[in-house]
Amino acid sequence: MPTLAATTDTTLSDASRERRLTNGAFFGDLHECRTVGEIALSELRPTVPEHAIETHTHDDAHLLLVLEGAYLSSAEDMPPLCAEPVLILNPPGTTHRDCFRDPRADARGRCAREDDAPPGRFFALSLSPTRWRDACERRVLPDRAVRLPLPALAVALRLRRQLRTNDDAMMLSLEAEIETLLDAASMRPLPTTLPPPWLDRARARLREDCAHAPSLAELAQDCGVHPVYFARAFRRRYGCAPGDYLRRCRLERALGLLRDPRRSLTDIALACGFVDQSHFTHAFRDAFGRTPARFRADG
């Protein structure tokens, strides 16, 4: 039975039911924690190997920001394995087996030393039941886990920096940023049906080969549909044009590569499809409010 290190106590259900994690509890070793009103901010590292993670249910609503590591998640709009920073909203009652993957593990998620925890780091914003109910009264929020878009990821990264802020404006700032994140979650209704295989393949191509920009005609031809129909179907499904999605993928990939101090900013820019370092810096600053160099220095 794996040990559960968390920000609060946890309650285990009977063996016949899944494990339940009470408010603010995660499979992680707490690095920093702060409670502001009805919001708990926590930074943690995973403590349980992938193969030992059980299906579990979170009692609370929380926003999970993956900062480092390869993450497996069943949330809407997530790839099979995400190696870049990502922001996920898990509504209360979310049941899943999301976890970090160890690059040393085999296909079953096992390492030579089975008690080794995978490398990774994550930041969590846990909302009290009262706070979540109030948020739902103001907007329509998802009833299942969903990945939030790039602008929300930028806000969450900014919020994480405030974990170490101790001035009296912290509460006001946090309240406003949380509302921004919840608004982002409610902006686009979640699809009720699975996308056609050809549309999913096109999106995967943009994500996996973001350094190269195919034409609309090329994407449509690969899918066997008319370019106009493809463009409309893509926007209807994913809430943005294919070009905007490609830009988002480039910035998300850059976030991951910036964790490697051996890679220069020019190398990262070219690897992600930017014309040069200047183009990369401009796009990154527009999205995250900081230059890539500043982001790397801030950790």
Mean pLDDT is lowest, of 8-12, 33-37, 89-93, 103-107, for 8-12
- For residues 140 and 274, state if they share a domain: no
- For residues 178 and 31, state if they share a domain: yes
Is the separation of the CB atoms in 270 and 259 below 8 Å?
A: no
- For residues 106 and 179, state if they share a domain: yes
- Note whether residue 191 is domain-resident: no
Decide which of 186, 221, 238 is a domain's last residue: 186
Decide if pLDDT at 112 tops 60.
no
- Note whether residue 10 is domain-resident: no
> Over the stretch 37-94, which tens digit does the pLDDT of each residue have?
888 999 999 999 998 999 999 999 999 999 999 999 999 889 889 999 999 999 999 9
Sign of CA dihedral 148, 149, 152, 153: positive
- For residues 31 and 176, state if they share a domain: yes
- For residues 99 and 180, state if they share a domain: yes
- For residues 173 and 205, state if they share a domain: no
CB atoms within 10 A of CB 285: 14
Domain residues for the domain of 257 are 197-298
pLDDT interval class at 281 (50, 70, 90): very high
- Note whether residue 7 is domain-resident: no
Decide if pLDDT at 172 tops 90.
no
- For residues 177 and 70, state if they share a domain: yes
Sign of CA dihedral 55, 60, 61, 65: negative
- Torsion angle of alpha carbons 205, 283, 141, 193, nearest 10°? -20
| Tokens linked to 66 | 């993956």
Q: What is the mean pLDDT of the chain?
A: 87
- For residues 36 and 161, state if they share a domain: yes
- For residues 231 and 169, state if they share a domain: no
Sequence-distant (≥ 6) Cβ neighbours of residue 23 within 8 angstroms: 8, 40, 59, 60, 126, 128, 129
- For residues 204 and 165, state if they share a domain: no
- For residues 230 and 257, state if they share a domain: yes
- Note whether residue 8 is domain-resident: no
- For residues 135 and 244, state if they share a domain: no
Decide which of 186, 213, 243 is a domain's last residue: 186
> Over the stretch 243-258, which tens digit does the pLDDT of each residue have?
999 999 999 999 999 9
- Note whether residue 272 is domain-resident: yes
- Note whether residue 29 is domain-resident: yes
Mean pLDDT is lowest, of 172-176, 177-181, 198-202, 227-231, for 172-176
- Note whether residue 149 is domain-resident: yes
Q: Residues of 260-271 as b/e, b for ≥16 C-beta within 10 angstroms?
A: eeeeebeebbeb
pLDDT of residue 4: 45
Domain count, the chain: 2
- Domain CATH code at residue 267: 1.10.10.60
